[in-house]
Amino acid sequence: MICIDELGPLAVKTYPGEEWKLGSHRATFEPDYGRRGAVWVHGAFEPATGTATVVLSDRRDSTSHILLLEQIVQVFPADRWLLIEDNLSIHPSRLSQLALLAWPEVQVQFIPKYACWLNLIEPWWKQLRSLALKGHRFETALELRQALLAALDYWNAHKHPYHWKKRPQEQPSLAFGGFVSTLSPKPSLI
């Protein structure tokens, strides 16, 4: 099972560090509104092993998605692949479906709309942002790309399987078209 998603656009700008202090020793930086470029990250993550791969692109389009599919087949050797992805328009596009005909051993499973927590690449994006962006200032898109690839290399060198921490009773369930908690109600003090 391999989870696929897109992250971005990531602007070429300053990303503040994680620590914020009050007083004279507080972290300061000038506001930076970017406008020096942007990068889209198309990623694939295998929760069972923790292995990840990315394709960096200037836009979010079917061509970049197909490049990611080609990279998945090379990076994750297997007899069959199950890809988990959302319903973004580039995933079920004609170009993507045509490319998938070249790999009959690839099966795609689309997650339901408004259920992004089912795609296990979402928590991994937080790790990638922390490794690549936090506390850095980027002047060019090339610097941003290099930082993202260095963070990916670091992650893959120190990878570990992803364990989902949510218990079944903490997950929301659908009822009457909305979300309802499945947690047992607290006893009333009457």
Question: What is the pairing mode between strands 2-11 and 81-85?
Answer: parallel
Tens-digit pLDDT profile for residues 131-162 = 998 888 888 999 999 999 999 999 999 998 88
Note the pLDDT of residue 174.
53
Note the pLDDT of residue 49.
93
Note the pLDDT of residue 136.
85
Q: Which range is least confidently modeled, 26-35, 74-83, 116-125?
A: 26-35
Q: What percent of the chain has a predicted confidence (pLDDT) above 90? A: 38
Q: How far apart are CA 115 and CA 145, in angstroms?
A: 29
Of 164, 87, 80, 176, the closest CA to residue 121 belongs to 164
Q: How far apart are CA 54 and CA 152, in angstroms?
A: 8
| Residue 186 banded pLDDT, cuts 50, 70, 90 | low
Note the pLDDT of residue 28.
62
Mean pLDDT of 111-115: 84
For 19-26, which contacts have Cβ atoms below 8 Å and span 24 or more sequence positions? none
Domain range annotation of the chain: 2-17+27-163
Note the pLDDT of residue 53.
95
The topology (CATH level 3) of 2-17+27-163 is: Nucleotidyltransferase; domain 5 (3.30.420)
**What pTM value is reported for the model?**
0.78
Q: How far apart are CA 13 and CA 139, in angstroms?
A: 7
Inform me whether the pLDDT recorded for 29 exceeds 70: no
| Residue 115 banded pLDDT, cuts 50, 70, 90 | confident
Note the pLDDT of residue 170.
58
Residue 176 DSSP one-character state:
T
Tens-digit pLDDT profile for residues 37-54 = 899 999 999 999 999 999
